[in-house]
Chains A and B, each alone.
Chain A
């Protein structure tokens, strides 16, 4: 597709800080190339604002190549915008038409308080991972590749789960602001591999305890999360996590019940 030039109207959420009530502001984005990414378009708008002596729009971004999970905003009612399996930084302006009005809002959830404008605090995700999303067995130096036999399907599924970049789009899209897709990816990527087995049941329990403490909503299987996930994490992982949680409810023992026992 050849390059085109777009003139757009933006309605952007502006909020000075966490305390500010916030409001929508309208900006004109003129002479935008269809080859720009969405963030580059916002860079142009911000340069304009800075030249006018106004405060630029604050937004999160880092790698700009769709792998870090830092970028994220709700574009026309969809986290990361209209394209499937695409982060905001990888969304290109050719997905829009000349004259479009684009509404840009921050991810909305109690667990993701707005820091400024479009930037939200997603450290709740870090705390959920810190609550159990790891293995604690010392693994030593790298072993022979096939010392631990792992079926190819398990390795592939674990890899699919590990594709989660923790961007939070699932929470933003969920009508319940639930974080089950994120959590299930973090539980599955370890639960599908032998190294994750020793702590499998305590992990899911601890992570769900932390999830609840962060005040995310409760999943009702709407499947909106799967539709917006830039990495195609599947609902299947939520079912797997539910299975693990069910098992943990039956098999879990409080730690240190007997010497040497788990």
Chain B
């Protein structure tokens, strides 16, 4: 029997589409795309904070729109909706993290001995930093939840308390939002985290479209522009919140 036949992994019954290398890439791309959708919605929702300026000018209580929006999220589906979304997001994080971790380990194992000289030409900084930004994002997600959803006492100062109810939702979202960013350290963490997010999704948007096969010379340039604009919009708006609180543009 020729050597080739003996070594072929032709046992396609054992082959699993989703756990193959490309299958895990597809999982990472689809879950990453879902994250980007969520984060875009999250960013747009938070824009209601700026309506407080209009509300103050028109004599309403500042933060009404943001609180109404927050209560809508909490009550949707008789209060089960938010838990459904939370479960979904947790599932996405686990899938994305599992695919990221296992493919990364596979890639490291694929080159046991490196080069003395290694001259890279094409890889962008964003793509090279994907694994670093990923770790920072994972830590940040935990911090963010403890900070504004759980309202962990250690994470904010006594004069700017964050008050939440038993189901992990804030009572006065706008007040918590402003109090949270009054702490310069917290603001700094959010700004750095969002810069990491920007790098991650700048490569991510370009990368998931390639992984899902959306590549064509006709619109490849456009893909880069879309990635740049989308990432900049999300990061720009998100970073503006802590800055606006620090500059007293948003207050109650």
A-to-B contact residues, CB < 8 Å: 11, 24, 74, 76-78, 103, 105, 108-111, 126-127, 130-131, 175-178, 202, 205-206, 208-213, 215-224, 226-228, 235-236, 238-243, 245-246, 248-249, 252, 254-255
- Residues B25 and A219 in contact, CB atoms below 8 Å apart: yes
In the complex, are the beta carbons of A221 and B207 less than 8 A apart? Answer: yes
Q: Are B9 and A177 in contact (CB under 8 A)?
A: no
Given A209-B20, A254-B13, A108-B115 contact (CB < 8 Å): yes
B215 and A246 contact, CB distance less than 8 A? no
On chain A, the residues within 8 Å of B119 by CB distance are: 76-78
Q: Which residues of A contact B216 (CB under 8 A)?
A: 236, 239
Report yes or no: B111 in contact with A206, Cβ–Cβ below 8 A.
Answer: no
| Chain A proximity mask over B1-36: 1 for CB below 8 Å, otherwise 0 | 000110111101101011011111110000000000
Instruction: Knowing A221-B206, A242-B26, say if A209 contacts B15 (CB, 8 Å).
Output: yes
The answer to whether A209 touches B9, judged by C-beta atoms less than 8 angstroms apart, is yes
B121 within 8 A of A: yes
Contact of B127 among A78, A103, A222, A228 (CB under 8 A): A222
Establish whether residues A221 and B210, one from each chain, have CB atoms under 8 Å apart when the complex forms.
yes
Q: Across the interface, which residues of B come within 8 angstroms of A249, CB to CB?
A: 17-18, 23, 26
Contacting pair A227 B122 (CB below 8 A): yes
Smallest CB separation, A48 vs chain B (Å): 23
B114/A221 in contact, CB under 8 A: no
Residues in B neighbouring A239, C-beta threshold 8 A = 210, 213-216
Q: Closest CB of chain B to A233's CB: distance in Å? A: 14
Select one of A126, A213, A254 contacting B4, CB under 8 A: A126
- Which residues of the partner chain A approach B220 to less than 8 Å between Cβ atoms? 236
Let me know if B213 and A254 touch, CB within 8 A.
Answer: no
Q: Closest CB of chain B to A168's CB: distance in Å?
A: 13
Chain B interface residues (CB < 8 Å from chain A): 4-5, 7-10, 12-13, 15, 17-18, 20-26, 103-104, 106-123, 127-128, 130, 203, 206-207, 210-217, 220
Contacting residues, chain B, for A220 (C-beta < 8 A): 103, 107, 127, 130, 207
Contact of A208 among B22, B123, B127 (CB under 8 A): B22
In whole angstroms, what is the CA distance A35 to B23 when docked?
48
Q: Are B111 and A177 in contact (CB under 8 A)?
A: yes
Q: Which residue of B4, B104, B108, B118 contacts A127 across the interface (Cβ within 8 Å)?
A: B4
**Min C-beta distance of B162 to chain A, whole Å:** 38
Question: B110 contacts which of A110, A209, A248, A252 (Cβ < 8 Å)?
Answer: A110
* Chain A residues in 8 Å Cβ range of B25: 218-219, 242
Minimum CB–CB distance from A93 to chain B (whole Å) comes to: 18
Contact B110 A208 (CB under 8 A): no
Nearest B residue to A249 via CB reads B17
The 4 closest A-B pairs by CB, nearest first: A77-B119, A243-B213, A239-B215, A217-B110
| Choice from A205, A222, A227, A240 contacting B15 with Cβ under 8 Å | A205
